[in-house]
Chains A and B, each alone.
Chain A
Amino acid sequence: MTVNLRGNSQLNFDTGCVEMIHGSGGKAMAQLIEGLFLKAFDNPYLRQQNDQAAFSLPPGRVVMATDSHVISPLFFPGGDIGSLSVHGTINDVAMAGARPTHLSAGFILEEGFPLRELKRIVESMAAAAKEAGVPIVTGDTKVVERGKGDGVFINTTGIGVVPEGVELGGDRVRVGDHIILSGPIGDHGVAIMSLRENLTFETAIESDSQPLHDLVADMVKVVPGLHCLRDPTRGGLATTLNEIAQQAGVGMQIQEANLPVRPQVAAACEFLGLDPLYVANEGKLVAFCPADCSEALLAAMRAHPRGGEACRIGEVVADPHRFVQMQTRFGGNRIVDWLNGEQLPRIC
């Protein structure tokens, strides 16, 4: 496909690639923006072609979150850097109990990156934003010289509004709270690892990358007194639980037998010497709620397609040392500690 805009220059999405001029602020950049980004993200804010988007927000507390995406590989089973950059920021906003309303997108492109792949990424981003119902209202593109980037980096920032009566945060978690997980852990990390250099193995596991704001909306509607939501991304569930234990000055007791892990994820972790508790997720959340609300919350989550496998994994306990402990399936107890450095495989 060839788009011809404003005169004689052309964007060739079959064989072309990103060039320095695409970030220079000149005609080539305008062509890229119009021929690709505007077309894919199309909405009234972008159509105004200003350097910023102006809009009003519904009443309520405003939430803002930003996330930079540098994933390798760019395309993976279940998603790509484009859809991930939309879901990641939507979820960060949603974890405040907020409904995300607007997104921005900043691209850092490496000279030489195929336009065909960029188009695929941008279209995937547009589809993800459309599906989530959150428009990308402003953006930016820069190009760096070959060798100074890794194809594409995408930063997204999101804004959202918290409904009246909802106030979530790690510091609100209390002893006695129930800990609820929205579904199986480790899918995203294993899907990515299956493609990494030197590590190619076949798996049917797809990334769980998905937007969670609709699920969150249902949750806060049923249990507005929810204490905390967090999406266990990098560092996995273990890291998230430790962060919150630290923040709230509490301990946690979880049960391994209640932790959902897909057999394929468990198997991949087994032979790679990894622990699914530390593997990244991109479409799961963990909720802390007063014990007397947990059944209602679970019912609301299970009624939503993105929370169908929700389950209670443990409870918050008093512990001056702020340990996250786990009753193993085997019957013993152990700590689930912070991740130390990058999770590296054991040799034997």
Chain B
Amino acid sequence: MKYVDEFRDGQLAQELAQKIKREVQPGRQYHLMEFCGGHTHAIFRYGIPDLLPPEVKMIHGPGCPVCVLPIVRIDSAIELAMDHGVILCTYGDMMRVPGSRKMSLLKAKAEGADVRMVYSTLDALALARQNPEREVVFFAIGFETTTPPTAMAIQQAERLGIKNFSVFCNHVLTPSAISTILESPEVRELGTLPLDGFVGPAHVSTVIGSQPYEYFAEEYQSPVVIAGFEPLDVLQAILMLVRQINEGRAEVENEFTRAVSRDGNLKAKRIVADTFEMRREFEWRGLGMVPYSGLKIKARFAAFDAEKRFTLKRRSARENKACECPAILRGVKTPRDCKLFGTVCTPENPIGSCMVSSEGACAAHYSYGRYRDHLAADTPSNLIQKSEA
């Protein structure tokens, strides 16, 4: 596959891994956070931890939009589908995420709600045109990557005079989440979470550009390397971060030059700015209330705002107390540190946010990497033996 296989080449991976091994300084630790769920997924899917020297530790950040969506918002989406009789459209990932009482959109669908999986906002708009007698709501989630298509759908709906289409907006902003992590006491004061560098978002950065990260590099003296989602991108970014750390630099470097510029996608940014404005605060599952971290639809487009169009119940929901997701999302703990991981909380029965999507740190570790826990825990007598054959 052109433009894909080149970035998954095993030979190049070995060469890069050797370079990283050669450049890490003995006795020095390199704690690198990949912010994006896409990177977390790639790291586990391609077995990247096996290629890294023990000095380099990857910390899995909160960059999975499905994982960070609070339960109350999922409950509201389910309410729209079940109680307001709308056609609720959303991306596939969102369908099985449980809200309160283990209810999910998939279960709502089984109970008779009209829930449709779509691949793009335009599919949702098309559904509205095909079903003029029905209300169609697009359950919009995601970081800066998925925001421009939502904005486009709203503007197109206005242009075409589509009256039965609205958006339940849950778009969130990456830089605010990075700030929250960097401002956390574990990083700032206690020093319990060493964060030596960031693997910067891939698709998000194609929209916002590399410029927004310059503040983090400067203010927090934290190197950032923006990287693509292919495994070679990730390895290359790790090498670049190791070099920056060794040389005492804290800069924004761009590994993903084939898609990311300093200013990003001006057209996309403009349509987003035209359509949305900041919420004063927005709840992130695991991080709590984060100031100026979410978007809402501007008053001018209120007719397309599902939160204005439908009266939704005010809700509160409680997370399981034993769930360590808040600490895992901030990189303070790992999935293995959670008592629920792999026992009560599994991808089939997710309790915490990091298990709900395949991009969450717990789900990725469970689905691709949990044999390592057993490798570590096994006694020599029952160690996994590879067959000679």
Task: Please list the residues of chain A having a beta carbon within 8 angstroms of any beta carbon in chain B.
Answer: 175-178, 198-199, 251, 253, 257, 263, 266-267, 270, 273, 291, 315-321, 323, 325, 327-335, 337, 340-341, 344-348
Contacts and interface: CB of A to CB of B under 8 A. Distances in A.
A347 B10 contact: no
B384 A337 contact: no
11 contacts: A198-B117, A253-B387, A266-B1, A267-B1, A328-B45, A331-B10, A331-B50, A332-B46, A332-B49, A337-B368, A348-B145
Interface in B344-389: 347-348, 357-359, 366-371, 374, 382, 384-389
Interface residues of B, number: 58
Contacts of B41: 346
Interface stretch (B89-97, B245-253, B256-264, B328-336): B89-97
B178 interface: no
Interface in B81-130: 91-96, 106, 116-119, 123
Contact of A331 (B13, B38, B145, B374): B13
A315 B389 CA distance: 7
B162 to A, nearest CB: 18
Contacts, number: 126
Interface in B227-268: 231
Contact of B47 (A321, A323, A328): A328
Given A199-B119, A318-B385, A319-B384, A334 B1 contact: no
B387 A316 contact: yes
Residue from the set B1, B38, B65, B145 with the largest chain A CB neighbour count within 10 Å: B1
A198 B119 contact: yes
B47 A331 contact: yes
B47 A330 contact: yes
Contacts of B38: 348
A198 B358 contact: no
A345 B1 contact: no
A318 B384 contact: yes
A199 B116 CA distance: 12
Given A330-B13, A332-B49, A344-B92, A176 B387 contact: yes
Contacts of A320: 382
Interface of B: 1, 4, 8, 10, 13-14, 17, 37-38, 41, 44-51, 65-66, 91-96, 106, 116-119, 123, 141-143, 145-146, 203, 231, 347-348, 357-359, 366-371, 374, 382, 384-389
**4 A-B pairs with the lowest CB-CB distances in the bound complex, closest first:** A332-B47, A344-B92, A332-B50, A330-B46
Contacts of A348: 37-38, 65, 142-143, 145-146, 203
Given A335-B367, A347-B92, A198 B118 contact: yes
Contacts of A323: 371, 374, 384
Contacts of B92: 273, 344-347
Most buried by A among B47, B51, B357: B47
Nearest to A290: B389
Contact of A270 (B1, B48, B123, B357): B1
B8 A317 contact: no
Contact of A345 (B48, B93, B142, B389): B93
B10 A317 contact: no
Contacts of A341: 96, 106, 348
Contacts of B14: 331
Contacts of B359: 346
A333 B117 contact: no
B314 to A, nearest CB: 27
B389 A178 contact: yes
Given A178-B389, A315-B387, A330-B13, 4 more contacts: A267-B1, A267-B4, A318-B384, A331-B13
A345 B119 contact: yes
A71 B171 CA distance: 36
A140 to B, nearest CB: 29
Contact of B50 (A273, A316, A329, A333): A333
A325 B347 CA distance: 18
A258 B386 CA distance: 18
B170 to A, nearest CB: 12
Contacts of B118: 198
Contact of A251 (B141, B145, B384): B384
B48 A176 contact: no
Contact of A344 (B47, B51, B93, B387): B93
B282 to A, nearest CB: 18
In the complex, which of the residues A273, A321, A348 has the most CB atoms of chain B within 10 Å of its own CB atom?
A348
B371 A335 contact: yes
A328 B358 CA distance: 18
A251 B41 CA distance: 23
A267 B105 CA distance: 29
Contacts of A334: 44-47, 368-369
A320 B4 CA distance: 36
Contacts of B370: 335
A333 B388 CA distance: 18
Contacts of B386: 253, 317
